[in-house]
Amino acid sequence: MPWRHGRKLGAARNIGLRLNAYGSHVEMPINGVNGYRYLASGAFDWQASEKLSFKIDAEHYRRATDEPGGITLPAAINGAITLPAIPDPRNRYAPVNAPYRTWVTNVLGRVDYSLSGTWSVRAGAGYANTRRQRMIANVGKVNAVTGAGTLTSTCTPDQEYANLYWRADVTGEVGIFGIRHELLFGYARNRQVQEDQHQQSYAALAQNLYAPVVLSLAALTPTTNRLVAGSVNIATGLYAMDQAHIGESVLVMAGVRYVDYRTTTAQTDFAIRTWTPTGAVVQRPTSKTSLYFSYIEGLESAGTAPDGTTNAGAVLPAVRSRQIELGGRAEVGGVMASLGWFRINRGWPTPTWPPTPMWSTGAPCIRGTRGHSMAMSPAPSLWRWPGQI
């Protein structure tokens, strides 16, 4: 059931406060799997003066349910996988009370200060923390006829991730030789931490895909305990961007970002320092149509190796991605329509089978077209570049 409360405070009514809360019972369509969840959040803003303002947002989320269990696909034979019959979707394979618990906390703050003219300064910081306890229980080695198989289980009770982010930038406008430039200069730093995790494995148990038996946690026999070492990712960047308005029909965007990206783990350290550019051109043939071309490049986290690989949970090095896009927009009869072609070259972790370590290898190419239309009210300009940074 949701609850919310908001009001303006202060003699000048320049302080805003809003509180929200929500809680519910969770009933899954799987036999005996249920739980609860709740959310509490608050937002605060203060217009301290005509030029200075403060904003703070915070939220906490909690979810607690049971793990229903999953199914491991059979091994391929001669390049083909023979699937068993589809089981009842209500089947529960994991032990009763197998944990699936999540805690999330987010806090974000920002300060804005208006300088003279069109220039302003903004500084912000945020913190996010996620904790999870989960048992993964999968049925495998299944006899396709009888459904007889084995249940393999692992439990990681101490998954914890934290992210600390702060940023400051200066924006303003200048005119040079009749060209209006919207300028942005800034600094950003992001620190991601993955704590050590202890993964407990259990001896396999008999389980049936079509007629699962009810198992208790006490029936599990611990075997090995594996340590997944934590890691720290720190990305520091300086960036600048210029949006140059040339006359009434052309917009040219150019930007650059200097990145210092570092990953520290118990096994290896990874570091890269590089420049990543971005640019775009928007041409406006008429007041209701626009054509654009854009290029963007950047580093991104490749995440962690998934379950099923021998280095599951290991942090993968950053990958460099590049995207080119061109297209157009038009407003016809009050409807905004757009059509674009894109090409993305993206470094991506590649899994192999049977399980081996996963690495960020290759640069898969994704290309395609996309388009959409929507009714619009008069206001949004066609100037904004899709996928704007």
Asked, for residue 381, whether it belongs to a domain, the answer is: no
Examine residue 388 and state whether it is found in any structural domain, yes or no: no
112 lies in a domain? yes
User: Domain containing 182: what range?
Assistant: 2-375
How far is residue 34's CA from residue 131's CA, in Å, rounded to a whole number? 20
CA distance 192 to 106: 14
Q: Residue 383 domain-assigned?
A: no
The pair of three-digit structure tokens given for residue 202, joined into one six-digit string? 């259990």
Question: Cα 351–141–204 angle (5° rounding)?
Answer: 95
Tell me how far CA of residue 113 lies from CA of 73, 135, 177, 235, in angstroms: 57, 48, 29, 26
Say how many domains are in the chain.
1
Sequence-separated (6 or more) residues with CB below 8 Å from residue 308: 351, 355
User: 3-state SS of the chain: helix, strand, coil percent to 5?
Assistant: 0, 65, 30
Query: Distance between CA atoms of 164 and 127, rounded to whole angstroms?
Result: 5
CATH of the domain at 76: 2.40.170.20
- Render pLDDT for 5-19 as a digit per residue (tens, 0 to 9): 999 998 889 999 999
pTM value is: 0.75
Amino acid at 158: D
Helices and strands, number each (H, E), in the chain = 0, 21
Q: Which amino acid is located at 105 in the chain?
A: T
Per the domain annotation, does 184 fall within a domain? yes
Give the per-residue pLDDT at 375: 60
3-class secondary structure per residue, 186-243: EEEEEEEEECCEEEEEECCEEEECCCCCCCEHHHCCEEEEEEECCEEEEEEEEEEEEE
Q: Evaluate whether residue 245 is within a structural domain.
A: yes
Residue 271 within any structural domain of the chain: yes
Q: Which residues of the chain have pLDDT under 50?
A: 349-362, 377-389
Q: Report yes or no on 387 lying in a domain.
A: no
